[in-house]
Amino acid sequence: MRMLESRAMSLAVVVLAAGQGKRMHSALPKVLHPLAGRPLLAHVLDAARALNPKQILVVHGHGGAEVRAAFAGTGVEWVEQARQLGTGHALAQALPKVARGAQVLVLNGDVPLVRAQTLKQLVAESKKGLAICTSDLGDATGYGRVVRDARQRVRRVVEQKDASAKELRIREWYAGFLAAPVERLSAWLSELKPANAQQEYYLTDVIGLAVKDRVNVATITAEDPWEVAGVNSRHELALLERAYQNAQARRLLEAGVALADLWRVDVRGKLSCGRDVSIDVNCVFEGEVTLGDRVRIGPNCLLRNVAVEADTEILGYSFLESATIGKRCRIGPFSRMRPGVTLGDEVHIGNFVELKASRVGARSKANHLAYVGDAEVGERVNIGAGTITCNYDGAAKHRTLIEDDSFIGSDTTLVAPVTIAKGSYIGAGSTISRSTPAGQLTLARAKQVSVPGWKPPRKK
């Protein structure tokens, strides 16, 4: 255990995230653009943390204040690259903060799907000198080509703008990750010169310097093209989003979930499913969502931080957020659950019903056209169409209590704070502003009046 801890304490991860992302055509810093509902940089930091490093340093530049604010309190160290003079210059800003004797792993903040296992292999190989991640999958356009000698030893990496026609035909390209001892990297970075087409300090030039110093350059080849794919445009981001979501869909299918279409489901967080769960098309799952056995989700639903127990059906076009749903419930279509909703077993919430910060007991029903907010609803309660709880007086929220076995007639207004006692019947069209007695019928209607001889106005 002490040996493992010692190794973990000797690793520093530096994430280069200072780029402007001009091709995104956006005021938002590139690393804050969302993939699967989270910033690109968040995915990279997750992979870094899986290695248990001693330090994680993020080099920021364009939109630095926004980037820092988005990751406030996450434990990373921030390094500013005030002038963007290239990737080598960016790393040089961070290395003075790295402890002596550490191994340094360099990542890019716009390559979000890299796997922790690949990075672990890269760090392990770097103990011999310098290790880089390469790929020969997909299109190499835009990437530095890996130049090898006749014995297939790495000699250097040449960036595309500086490559010859022959070098541009090389299929193997540098994927943007490298690892080496901090002392070695510091020495090589001090030798960099901006003698290239972009007049920048290229980090890739350290590979040629390592070869010059007779340092072993090891390569780790990425097995999945998507884990080394960077984001430089909205088109590339959209392609990466579909690749990520398709991988999530395959995972669900392999776990036994029935998907109507593996191309039309989005998981933007963590989705856990029991046995025989079915999900129709165009459903979105955000945050942490748990679906129990035999849960059925209809088309075009959004669930955000929701737990649904067994045998419940959520019909199409329903939106549930921060809610807990019991067993054998039926929800929707066109239902909305706002944060703070808890439903007991066998509850029916129908079309165009909205609930907020409310608890609904077992076998209660609100089948259509109702709003229930800041309420405690007992068991076996029926809430008729057009019923609303008036929970807000313009300054504060108030609670409504509807006890077991109550019947709320259609088009009823419940003015909180109010208690509907057990077994109460509320006549349709009533406005209830005082608590009701148990087991009685309560009416609160204006007197009906007909006006003899009345005639409608006529246009002149």
Residues 128, 200 share a domain: yes
Q: What are the residues facing 272 on neighbouring strands? A: 290
203 and 278 housed in the same domain: no
Are 198 and 311 found together in one domain?
no
Domain end (from 228, 249, 280): 228
Pick from 170, 198, 228: which residue ends a domain?
A: 228
- Taking only the tens place, the pLDDT of each residue in 145-181 is 999 999 999 999 998 889 999 999 999 999 989 999 9
In this prediction the pTM is 0.88
Read off the CATH number of the domain in which 293 is found: 2.160.10.10
Residue 412, token pair as written in the block: 């009823």
Q: What angle do CA 175, 89, 53 make, to 5 degrees?
A: 60
Same domain membership, residue 254 and residue 213:
no
Do 104 and 253 lie in one domain? The reply is: no
Residue 391: domain span:
234-442
| Spatial separation of the C-alpha atoms in residues 323 and 329, rounded to whole Å | 13
Residue 243 and residue 200 share a domain = no
The pLDDT, as a whole number, for residue 84 is 87
Please tell me whether residues 246 and 165 are part of one structural domain.
no
Residues with a catalytic annotation lie at 368
Domain presence at residue 174? yes
* pLDDT, tens digit, 9 for 90 and up, residues 308-342: 999 999 999 999 999 999 999 999 999 999 999 99
Q: Are strands 425-426 and 11-17 parallel, antiparallel or unpaired?
A: unpaired
CB 105 within 8 A of CB 123: yes
Tell me the per-residue pLDDT of 80-125, one tens digit each, with 9 for 90 and over: 998 889 999 999 999 999 999 999 999 999 999 999 999 999 999 9
Q: Are residues 430 and 288 in the same domain?
A: yes
Residues 216, 243, single domain; the answer is no
The CATH number that applies at residue 153 is: 3.90.550.10
- Per-residue confidence at 223, pLDDT binned at 50, 70, 90? confident
In total, the chain counts a number of residues equal to 460
Give 37-63 pLDDT, tens digit per residue. Answer: 999 999 999 999 999 999 999 999 988
Domain finish residue from 228, 243, 267: 228
Residue 9 has pLDDT above 50, yes or no: no
Residues 206, 161: one domain?
A: yes
For residues 39 and 67, state if they share a domain.
yes
**Bigger pLDDT: 271 vs 454:** 271
Tell me the pLDDT band of 7, cut-offs 50, 70 and 90. Answer: very low
- Domain membership flag for residue 221: yes
SS (H, E, C) the chain: CHHHHHHHHCEEEEEEECCCCHHHCCCCCHHHCEECCEEHHHHHHHHHHCCCCCEEEEEEECEHHHHHHHCCCCCCEEEECCCCCCHHHHHHHHHHHCCCCCEEEEEECCCCCCCHHHHHHHHHHHCCEEEEEEECCCCCCCCCEEEECCCCCEEEEECHHHCCHHHHCCCCEEEEEEEEEHHHHHHHHCCCCCCCCCCCCCCCHHHHHHHHCCCEEEEEECCCHHHHCCCCCHHHHHHHHHHHHHHHHHHHHHCCCEECCCCCEEEEEEEEECCCCEECCCEEEEEEEEECCCCEECCCCEEEEEEECCCCEECCCCEEEEEEECCCCEECCCCEECCCEEECCCCEEEEEEEEECCEECCCCEEEEEEEEECEEECCCCEECCCCEEECECCCCECCEEECCCCEECCCCEEECCEEECCCCEECCCCEECCCECCCCEECCCCCCCCCCCCCCCCCC
Q: Could you give the number of structural domains in the chain?
A: 2
Same domain, 145 and 178: yes
